[in-house]
Structure 1
Amino acid sequence: MRILITGATGLIGREIGKVLAEKGHDLFVVSRNEKKAKELLPFPCQVIEGDLSHSPLVDSRLENIEAAINLMGEPIAGSRWTEEKKKKIYDSRVTATKNLVQSLPKNLKVLVSGSAIGFYGNSGAEVLTEDGVAGQDFLAKLCKEWEAAAARAPGRTVFVRTGVVLARQGGALDQMLFPFRSGVGGVLGNGEQWMSWIHLKDIVGLFLLALENPQAHGPMNGVAPFPVTNREFSESLAYAVGSRLGPAIPMFVLNLLFGELAQVLVTSNRGCADKSREWGYKFHYDELKEALGEICAPFKQGEEVFVAEQFVSVPPEKLFPFFKEAHNLEKITPPTLNFEIENMSTPEIGQGTRIDYRLKIHGVPAKWKTEIDEWQPPFKFVDNQLKGPYRLWHHTHEFRPFCGGTLLVDRVRYRMPMGYLGWLMASHFVRKDVENIFAFRRKFIASESFHSHI
């Protein structure tokens, strides 16, 4: 099918796009910036430029769209709710969905639109089925209008009322990890409020179910079968990261920190997953402890993990030669690092090659020695730090054949120097540095200059 995706560069959108591309669908993505989107998207697609929060799209390619997945939306959490923030949240969902529906062809087969478990408002311990009525707070009213806007689309419509999405990198858990790994993460308020959660792999599966199963229609709770209280969640997360539970955070502190958003953080939603299971979905992660165990395993060992993905429209055998040339690594590293190779133990990179290089980290000179632990051209190589600023730096470079091109996957495992103290003091800054390094790399690989080298 020809499928349009909004919000494709987000946590869920990237994963859905990869699955749909691998299944052979033709994908079209809406973005305000085509160049930026192609840097971030890990799957082949055509980009339709536009800002749906301001106006409908105008593009002839929309006439042939058969299905649409609507994932766009300004982040709900992360900062205090000002009137300007609330307007952005509203416009990026309700206004944008109205404009999306106007942009879609009349013969559209299906629209799967995001919503949130917050549709039901603060519901205490009540088990929430899709027949429940909307709540009265800002988020509940927002979801109600959001779904109503999507319901005007031609064809079959499904609204996925998503709970708290758990993933190793990105999403709500990303913001919780530091305090819980520090030993100061605690329950919110009295901890009795119910939390409806779902693993990233399962929310992707539910969106695909909604897209592909003609039985699916109307609202569907995008939650795992067994919700937990905030206290249970907090205790499970502390255990999963190998830490202890910190003191509870009272409501007056949450109100001081987050203002109106504080009420959302302690809203009780006990979502039911019966409908998705009736429609044939089998969950990968039913239980919270299993989900958190899979996600947090590296953290329990004191490791950080960073993963970057990028699609390149050439096969691995044409792409790999660029990366096996050691000095090309200098081209894909930010100039601010002053990265320079000093010595190699072999004329060309191969199994066992040792590489000495120097760089500057925030202006401080550093020496680094790595060894190629694995060498599997044209699909994979691994470099491991022998000497350098980290206790561990293990970088896996994968070149996966994907949709006629290559899915570049960089997976970095690292540990900070000075143990827990080093992690506490520097992990946030190092994470930002790593993100910036790979942002620069993505930009270079998406450029015409890179393609002229291959």
Structure 2
Amino acid sequence: MRVIIAGGSGFLGRQLARRCVDAGHDVIILTRTVNPAVPFKQLEWDGKTLGQWTEALTEIGPVAVANLAGKLVDCRPTASNIAALRTSRVDATRVLVLASQLRKEPVSHWLQASTTAIYSDAGELHLDELSDLPSPGLPQMTGVAAAWEAALEGANTTSKTILRTSIVLAQGCPAWDRLTLLVRWGVGGTVGRGQQWTSWIHIEDWLRIAMVALGLDPQLAAPQGVVVASSPHPVRNRELMATLRSHLGRRGIPTPSALVTLGAIVLRTDPALALTGRFVTSTVLKDAGFTFRYPDLDTAVTHILG
């Protein structure tokens, strides 16, 4: 299979590319800046317009698409930043859809990235793929992700999976590195009230789900439509931070909400990333027979820290 990964130079893209190559598939990464250090074939694109890269998608033969393209969410929630978050995702998706329509036969499988943040701050609700989206929801969460998913309309593909991914835990993953750095600095205590739910997933389980979505797992059929990529056991923030402190052998000072908001200004990030939460699990994966290798937080953290 020829696998095209848009936005493949990011952490998840590189991990997925390696998994595909190890499984014997050809990988092409679409990126805005070609990086000689990345050991995969790369084609430059601007994420907005058709160009020479289009030939990789329209070339005759079976092809799968993983669309992971988009600006990193770790930024201040200003109107301009929110617009950039949205347009970077929507434009990239629309031009991929346009390129797919130039093919003589459909793309075999399409993995469309999305996020569980689409549910915004869900409080005590327990959510899955069939749960209604909040209206209007937070603009930097629901406002970005809903438009991202909608941009997939018209894709020329026989299989379409919209993967709403929770926080991915892995060495080198931005969320994991930020959390463990805070713990090592001694400020990894409860964040805000600590009651907010954290939905998370180990990188290995995310990769296995992604391979299923791309039709590259002979054991399971690719689920159609929305799929939540999240462990079956979300935890509250206080449990997340306590688990990390226990494994890293550190104490932690609690961070009140007001201090989180102030610190976010200094770090040029969005305080809602830490102060909001959601309890989201997948009914679709359970019904499909998918089994998580790292279903609980302690097992996942133990494996990551080796």
Structure 2 length normalisation: TM-score? 0.88
- CA drift of 1:215 comes to 4.4
> Corresponding residue for 1:198?
201
Q: Distance in 2 between matches of 1:61 and 1:96?
A: 15
Give per-residue Cα distances to partners, 1:268-289, cap 9 Å, x unaligned.
2101133213223221111101
> Corresponding residue for 1:90?
86
Q: 1:229 is matched with which residue: 225, 236, 258? A: 236
Q: 1:277 is matched with which residue: 278, 283, 286? A: 286
> Corresponding residue for 1:10?
10
Q: 2:38 is matched with which residue: 37, 40, 47? A: 40
Could you tell me which amino acid in structure 1 is paired with residue 128 of structure 2?
T
Q: 1:189 is matched with which residue: 189, 192, 196? A: 192
Compared with structure 1, are the counterparts of its residues 148 and 241 closer, same or farther at alpha carbon in structure 2 (3 Å cutoff)?
Answer: same
- CA drift of 1:168 comes to 1.6
Compared with structure 1, are the counterparts of its residues 5 and 22 closer, same or farther at alpha carbon in structure 2 (3 Å cutoff)?
Answer: same
How many residues get paired?
Answer: 289
Could you tell me which amino acid in structure 1 is paired with residue 38 of structure 2?
L
Could you tell me which amino acid in structure 2 is paired with residue 230 of structure 1?
N
1:425-436 aligned at under 5 Å gives the runs none
Could you tell me which amino acid in structure 2 is paired with residue 269 of structure 1?
R
Q: Secondary structure at the match of 1:39?
A: coil
- CA drift of 1:4 comes to 0.9
Q: 1:289 is matched with which residue: 278, 291, 298? A: 298
Cα RMSD, aligned residues only? 1.8
> Corresponding residue for 2:162?
159
Q: 1:62 is matched with which residue: 38, 52, 57? A: 57
Q: Secondary structure at the match of 2:151?
A: helix
- CA drift of 1:219 comes to 0.6
- CA drift of 1:152 comes to 2.6
Q: Distance in 1 between matches of 2:222 and 2:169?
A: 27
> Corresponding residue for 2:125?
126
Could you tell me which amino acid in structure 1 is paired with residue 149 of structure 2?
E
> Corresponding residue for 2:108?
109
Q: Distance in 1 between matches of 2:213 and 2:8?
A: 17
Could you tell me which amino acid in structure 2 is paired with residue 143 of structure 1?
A
Answering whether residue 60 of structure 2 is matched by residue 51 of structure 1, we say no
Could you tell me which amino acid in structure 2 is paired with residue 40 of structure 1?
V
Give per-residue Cα distances to partners, 1:201-222, cap 9 Å, x unaligned.
1111111111124441111111
Could you tell me which amino acid in structure 2 is paired with residue 90 of structure 1?
R
Larger Rg: 1
> Corresponding residue for 2:264?
258
Could you tell me which amino acid in structure 1 is paired with residue 119 of structure 2?
Y
4+ runs of 1 displaced by more than 4 Å?
none
Q: Distance in 1 between matches of 2:143 and 2:78?
A: 17
Give per-residue Cα distances to partners, 1:293-329, cap 9 Å, x unaligned.
22234xxxxxxxxxxxxxxxxxxxxxxxxxxxxxxxx
Could you tell me which amino acid in structure 2 is paired with residue 60 of structure 1?
E
Percent identical across equivalent pairs? 28
Answering whether residue 249 of structure 2 is matched by residue 242 of structure 1, we say yes
Q: Distance in 2 between matches of 1:127 and 1:206?
A: 21
Compared with structure 1, are the counterparts of its residues 133 and 57 closer, same or farther at alpha carbon in structure 2 (3 Å cutoff)?
Answer: farther
Q: Secondary structure at the match of 1:245?
A: coil
Q: Whose strand fraction is larger, Structure 1's or Structure 2's?
A: 1
Q: Distance in 1 between matches of 2:270 and 2:138?
A: 11
Q: Secondary structure at the match of 1:40?
A: coil
Relative contact order (C-alpha < 8 Å, sep 6+): which is higher? Answer: 2
Q: Distance in 2 between matches of 1:234 and 1:170?
A: 17
Give yes or no for contact 1:55–1:99 (8 Å, CA) kept in 2.
yes
Give yes or no for contact 1:151–1:157 (8 Å, CA) kept in 2.
no
Give yes or no for contact 2:186–2:251 (8 Å, CA) kept in 1.
yes
> Corresponding residue for 2:145?
143
Give yes or no for contact 1:28–1:48 (8 Å, CA) kept in 2.
yes
Answering whether residue 57 of structure 2 is matched by residue 27 of structure 1, we say no
Q: Structure 1: any 5+ residue segments left out of the alignment?
A: 298-454
Give yes or no for contact 1:81–1:258 (8 Å, CA) kept in 2.
no
Could you tell me which amino acid in structure 2 is paired with residue 285 of structure 1?
Y
- CA drift of 1:130 comes to 0.3
Compared with structure 1, are the counterparts of its residues 126 and 283 closer, same or farther at alpha carbon in structure 2 (3 Å cutoff)?
Answer: same
Give per-residue Cα distances to partners, 1:146-197, cap 9 Å, x unaligned.
1111243122211111111111223201012222013221222101010001
